A and B are shown apart, each in its own frame.
Chain A
Amino acid sequence: MSKPKQDEINRLLPLSLPVFHILLTLMEGERHGYALKRAISQRTDGKLNLGSGALYGSIDKMISAELIEESEERPDPHLDDERRRYYRITALGRRVAEAEAIRLRDLVRLAETHLKLPKLA
């Protein structure tokens, strides 16, 4: 697979909050939709509780932008409902998530300088 170009990555930035969180969660491994929702809710202390419409709307967009893809590997069908769909992050997804993180970091640095906030450890 060819390396995604910087232009292609920049075109996708900035990411919406749900998209960024989905990417971050999928960095940890494949997840199905409901697991994604729960993980995001937990890591944001319940502040970002995605409804299924918003979640799958974001997933749909991310699949067409090739940030994530559907995984064909499934756990043992006896343990899982076949209606569940599993997703994993793509190489482009990783690069985009990193680029977004850097963008946000730069933004925070800028804000810290301007607002004279104490630096985080």
Chain B
Amino acid sequence: MRGSAKVYRWLLRLYPARFREEYQAPMERQFLDEYRETQSHWARVQIWQRALLDLASSIPKQRVCELWLDLKHGMRAYRSRALSTVFAVSALGLAIGASTGVFSVLNALLLRSLPFVHPEQLVELWMPAVGPLSGRAAFTAGIRQSAYLQGAAAFSSSEMNLSGGRDVLRVKVAETSANFFSLLGVNPAVGRTFLPDEDILGHNSVAVISYGLWQQLFDGDPHVTGKLLHLNGQLLTVIGVAPASFDYPGTTNLWIPTIFDVEKVPKRGAFLMQTIGRLKPGVSIRAARELFAAEIRHLHPPFTTRMSADERNNPHITSLQTQLAGPVRQAGWALAGMTLLVLLTACANVAHLLLSRVTERRQELAIRAALGASRARLLQQLTVEAMLLTMTSAVIGLLVAQWTCTLASSFVPAQLAAQQYTIFDWRVLGFACLVAIAMGVVFGSFPIGLAGRTRTTVNSMHSQQGLRELTPKRTRATLIGLQAALTVCLVTNSLALGRTFLHLLHVDLGFQPASVVTLNVALQGTRHYGHGEWAYYSEVLQRLRSIPGVEAAGAVSHLPLADNIYMAGSFKLDSGQTMQSIVTNSVTPDYFRAMGTRFLAGRDFARGEWRRSEASVIVNEAFAQAAGLGDRIVGRRLIAPWSRTTPYRIRGVVGTTRFGGPESEGVPEIYWPIQEEPPPILTLVAKVEKRPESYLALCRDAVRTVDSQVPIYDAKTLQRRLTEALARPKFYATATSTLAFLGMLLAVVGIYGSAVYSIAQRRHEMGVRLALGASQRRIRAMILRESARPVLVGMVAGVILAVASERGWESVLGSAAGVTFWACGAAAALLVSAALLASWQATERVLSIDPAEALRSE
């Protein structure tokens, strides 16, 4: 009996507070009466059954009813303070939006699984001893013996020409081992993937195409298998179509099982072979590294001698997910940190608003408490009101987050961005709601700590003493100090990043990106490949030069900003001096003129110069400086590693170009005349009069008239390539300055609100002071002093925080963001002046105090 009563009483606690207060006692009584009146066990079981059904249907009903009442009440209350409510809601909305957006990106990059089977088991590894270069037999045997790998697949990416459909296309091809798809656990959308033996020589003339390519080339024909394609001239049979969401690695359009037969499809230059593996179940990455090191010791000396000590001791095994997230990983965390600061600042503001609302409604709360409303009831109502505020903010936040995600997708690394991942998903929605609910609960229960005291103040509702008890000064000062500290930290970081970005905009690239059109052509698989390259290129250049408005046209094998893999080697000067790691590039005459690269000494290649008995080269300034010769290097001779007998004559020195863009450094470089060994792929460069965008189509058409079967791709202005290279630093600078602006705005409003609030609270005290002869100026000075104190303390804390966060940014940007004395000082000065201005504005209200009226209110 007693047990049943206890359980029933406990269940009644699920009713909302008001209903419970009203009806708990009679309901309990009724249950007990009924229970007592029955004797048999079966009848009691039935009573319980009925009671549970009754509770299950009526509790939710009452909850909804009471929630609706509280919401109506809350909306009425907020309407009376519309302006500050709108501000707090939108500030919090922006903060939730920003943090949700950043969280979405982090989620997509770091937390979400890759679209592969058991992605946590996938690793990227580097095994020089048994890598794909050692051949299929050695590779598979090596993997089979491994104590930590279930399997491993090798692949290498390159761009190739594809014909077979309507047009000739430039596509991204992954040459893989046969088990590539099975290792990742990817099933085809149509047909099949590679059979286990299809990477053996003679069996590998097959291809799996991407979903996009299937649509583009074959209009999604379900009978695509068996169709033929020409890849760089090699005939291949389509065996399957990859699923729509799959294009790993990078933006691959086509997969062929030729990794152990790299000669099969002709291609140019260096290519990078990569190995991905699947760890055995239960083997961690750390354990795999230890097992790797142990295996290395048992390998035959010929293998181990190929490896450096570092490679032996620090095996390269990283989680595929970490590898794909790349450099954005740290930036993502840093941005998340900054967004969190803004979120905290916004929270401090909302706390302010609710705090002042509780004080304003002290009479209402005190009366309700006196009339018997329990603490739980008041807590429930305040929580619902706070939730109303935060949930509205969450809705605004979601809209902002959609926008943030679109913005953020511009800096997601290509490997992930291309995989057609939807960044925004239901987990993000969950996150936003969680933030809103957590804030609602915190903000709801935070003022109740103060409202709880209303019972004691009910008798002194009108007294200023009672009022002061409700709003501890220290809490407000702490909130202001916190906002000040966070804002100084935000502003300092954003100033530092902004400065870095400005620096990047003004850096000397070694070329003039304005008014330059660039486009790539690739000859593999065309009739020009192998012997007619130069004839084709010179014809194309002639056509380009004949376009009215084109001032100069040239070509280069590796264009700056194009993110190419390029070759480097050692060269010897006639003095005997050896130059290490020299980047080699080949250009046509007029290339430097088209690019706006200055000649510091000597001259450009003359047309037909390569036919001379003594071949010419041009070096850059960095090369001349590294050789310690400066301009005197012109006329000197150079021995290339591949031609020990015939030296090259250095004809000129050009300015150093920053190959990888403004963030990279210029490196020593040698330029060859392109005619000497015309590459199958190159970039055509044309300097035009003005508005290069309008010349893109003209140039493309001119090239196409020479041979429409040659694919032209990546036709872009050089300025656009530069903008793309700057996209990431620009994003960081924009994001941080937006966050800093938001933080600053929130802090200023917080400080203003606090000062206004403080004056309103102490109206009586000020009335007394004024009546006793204190001047309004003195009172204003007093309020300013009081407002400034927490700001100054917060400012010092903020500077310390900013200096501490510098290291974080250093790792993000690769160079010091430069949290300098200057940046700290500027941020602090900005905040203090804004704070003083806000407080000064707020103290205008002191002027409106009429001492007589203020005293009468007592």
Contact = CB atoms under 8 A, between A and B. Distances in A.
Interface of A: 32-34, 37, 49, 51-57, 59-60, 81, 83-85
A13 B30 CA distance: 29
Contact of B51 (A51, A57, A59, A60): A51
A77 to B, nearest CB: 14
B27 A56 contact: yes
B360 to A, nearest CB: 27
A51 B53 contact: yes
B599 to A, nearest CB: 91
B59 interface: yes
A59 B27 CA distance: 12
Interface string B28-42: 111101100000000
B31 A52 contact: yes
B26 interface: yes
Contact of A56 (B23, B53, B57): B23
Chain B contact residues: over half helix, strand or loop, or mixed?
A: helix
A34 B33 contact: yes
Given A51-B58, A53-B58, A53-B59, A60 B33 contact: no
B858 interface: no
B61 interface: yes
A51 B55 CA distance: 8
Contact of A84 (B26, B54, B57): B26
Contacts of A60: 19, 22-23, 62
B29 A84 contact: yes
B62 A57 contact: yes
Given A33-B30, A34-B30, A60-B19, A54 B57 contact: yes
A53 B34 CA distance: 14
Contacts of B23: 56, 59-60
B26 A56 contact: yes
A51 B23 CA distance: 13
A83 B55 CA distance: 20
Interface in B52-101: 53-55, 57-59, 61-62
Contacts of A52: 26-27, 30-31, 51, 54
A57 B34 CA distance: 18
Given A49-B50, A51-B51, A57 B58 contact: yes
A27 B214 CA distance: 80
A36 B19 CA distance: 19
Contact of B61 (A55, A57, A84): A57
Contact of B54 (A32, A33, A53): A53
B22 to A, nearest CB: 7
Contacts of A83: 25-26, 28-29
B26 to A, nearest CB: 5
A16 to B, nearest CB: 12
Contact of A33 (B26, B53, B55): B26
Contacts of A85: 25-26
Nearest to B58: A53
Given A60-B19, A60-B23, A51 B29 contact: no
19 contacts: A33-B30, A34-B34, A37-B30, A51-B53, A51-B54, A51-B58, A52-B26, A52-B31, A53-B27, A53-B55, A53-B58, A54-B54, A54-B57, A56-B19, A57-B62, A60-B22, A60-B23, A81-B29, A83-B29
Given A54-B54, A60-B23, 8 more contacts: A34-B26, A34-B30, A34-B34, A51-B58, A53-B58, A53-B62, A84-B29, A85-B25
A66 B713 CA distance: 79
Nearest to A86: B26
Nearest to A53: B58
Interface string B394-433: 0000000000000000000000000000000000000000
B21 to A, nearest CB: 11
A27 B285 CA distance: 79
A51 B50 contact: yes
B37 to A, nearest CB: 10
Contacts, number: 57
Nearest to A58: B58
Closest 8 CB pairs of A and B: A51-B54, A53-B58, A83-B25, A56-B23, A52-B27, A53-B54, A34-B30, A83-B29
Contacts of B51: 51-52
Nearest to B34: A34
A53 B14 CA distance: 12
Contacts of B29: 33-34, 81, 83-84
B391 to A, nearest CB: 26
A37 B26 CA distance: 12
A13 B55 CA distance: 26
A37 B412 CA distance: 66
Contacts of A51: 50-51, 53-55, 58
A68 to B, nearest CB: 14
Interface string B698-738: 00000000000000000000000000000000000000000
Contacts of B54: 51-54
Nearest to B55: A53
Given A49-B50, A52-B31, A52-B51, A32 B58 contact: no
A30 to B, nearest CB: 14
Interface string B5-25: 000000000000001001101
B392 to A, nearest CB: 27
A85 B24 CA distance: 11
A37 B62 CA distance: 19
Contacts of A56: 19, 22-23, 26-27
A85 B23 CA distance: 9
A28 B35 CA distance: 26
Contacts of A53: 27, 54-55, 57-59, 62
A54 B57 CA distance: 8
A52 B27 CA distance: 6
Interface centre among A32, A52, A83, by most chain B C-beta atoms within 10 angstroms, is: A52
A81 B26 CA distance: 9
Nearest to B28: A83
A85 B55 CA distance: 20
Contacts of A81: 29
A59 B22 CA distance: 11
Nearest to A81: B29
Contacts of A54: 54, 57-58
Contacts of B27: 33, 52-53, 56
Contacts of A33: 26-27, 29-30
Nearest to A37: B30
A87 to B, nearest CB: 10
B43 to A, nearest CB: 13
Contacts of B62: 53, 57, 60
Contacts of A34: 26, 29-30, 33-34
A113 B29 CA distance: 47
Contacts of B34: 34
B371 to A, nearest CB: 15
Contacts of B19: 56, 60
A59 to B, nearest CB: 8
The residue among B19, B26, B28, B62 with the most chain A CB atoms within 10 A of its own CB is: B26
A49 B22 CA distance: 22
A28 to B, nearest CB: 19
A83 B25 CA distance: 6
Among A32, A53, A54, A85, the one with the most B-chain Cβ atoms within 10 Å of its Cβ is A53
Contacts of B31: 52
B64 to A, nearest CB: 11
A59 B25 CA distance: 14
Nearest to A85: B26
Contacts of A84: 26, 29
A12 B55 CA distance: 25
A59 B19 CA distance: 11
A86 to B, nearest CB: 10
Nearest to A34: B30
Contacts of B61: 57
A111 to B, nearest CB: 30
A37 B33 CA distance: 12
Interface in B660-714: none
